[in-house]
């Protein structure tokens, strides 16, 4: 009876070799997969494939994204007046990148004050200067200009509307953090620029005024 119990008990044991063999087989399989992937990647690059094109099909966790701090330039739309209508048109400008949205906003408005390079018409007096730009946590940007934005303005209701929305759209349509824009003159909220548009409240961007 004792012998038969011993034999029955020994029969339920699994050979150690199988467990080790299974683990070894998995490691071998994983290594082969890695080697095959590396070989495919080398073949892809030698065949003329680019890393940028490959990056589009990779899962997000494996993409070769460039940190924003290393970005050197960006393309922005600066809005000026269309010479053939009472609408705004955009000029593309390539600007130096800065991770600080307030510095990017200041660069945008300086380009706006510099004026158009093509057939468009400037929307701000040449004598106007940017004093500062700040962005509040609720997405309201305060764009502070020298008094010449108003004092040297040519006047007219259409011209004033274009001035306001060239500022607002240039900021809000280029910087996601900006939702609306308050125009200041010499550090104080502007009542109006040329007497036709109430500027005491922040403006949201308008696509209707863009050609």
Residue 55: pLDDT band (50, 70, 90) is low
The burial of 144, by beta-carbon neighbours within 10 Å (0-12 exposed, 13-18 middle, 19 or more buried), is given as: buried
Q: Give the per-residue pLDDT at 71.
A: 77
Q: In this predicted structure, which of 67-71, 158-162, 170-174 has the lowest mean pLDDT? A: 67-71
**CB proximity list for 111: less than 8 A, separation 6 or greater:** 76, 78, 93, 95, 170
The listed CATH number (3.30.70.2210, 3.40.50.300, 3.30.1360.200, 3.40.50.880) that belongs to domain 69-189: 3.30.70.2210
Q: Which strand (E) or helix (H) includes residue 33?
A: helix 16-46
Mean pLDDT along residues 110-130: 96
Report the alpha-carbon distance of residue 122 to residue 17 in Å, rounded: 83
Q: What is the predicted pLDDT for the residue at 65?
A: 47
Band the pLDDT of 46: cuts 50, 70, 90: low
Give domain limits for the chain. Answer: 16-62, 69-189
Task: Examine the pLDDT at 20 and tell me if it is beyond 90.
Answer: no
Q: What is the mean pLDDT of residues 60-83?
A: 75
């Amino acid at each position: 009876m004792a012998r038969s119990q011993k034999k029955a008990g020994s029969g339920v044991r699994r050979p150690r070799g199988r467990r080790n063999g299974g683990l070894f087989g998995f490691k071998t399989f994983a290594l082969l997969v890695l080697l095959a992937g590396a070989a495919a990647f080398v073949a892809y690059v030698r065949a003329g494939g680019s890393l940028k094109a490959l990056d589009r099909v990779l899962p997000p966790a494996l993409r070769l994204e460039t940190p924003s701090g290393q970005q050197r330039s960006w393309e922005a739309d600066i809005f000026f007046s269309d010479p053939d209508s009472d609408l705004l048109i955009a000029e593309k400008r390539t600007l130096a990148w800065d991770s600080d949205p307030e510095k990017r906003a200041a660069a945008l408005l300086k380009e706006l004050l510099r004026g158009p390079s093509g057939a468009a018409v400037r929307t701000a007096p040449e004598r106007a200067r940017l004093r500062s730009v700040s962005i509040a946590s609720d997405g309201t940007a305060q764009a502070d200009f020298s008094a010449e934005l108003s004092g040297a303005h040519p006047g007219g209701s259409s011209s004033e509307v274009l001035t306001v929305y060239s500022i607002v759209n240039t900021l809000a349509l280029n910087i996601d953090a900006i939702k609306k824009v308050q125009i200041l003159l010499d550090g104080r909220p502007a009542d109006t620029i040329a007497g036709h548009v109430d500027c005491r409240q922040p403006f949201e961007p308008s696509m209707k005024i863009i050609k």
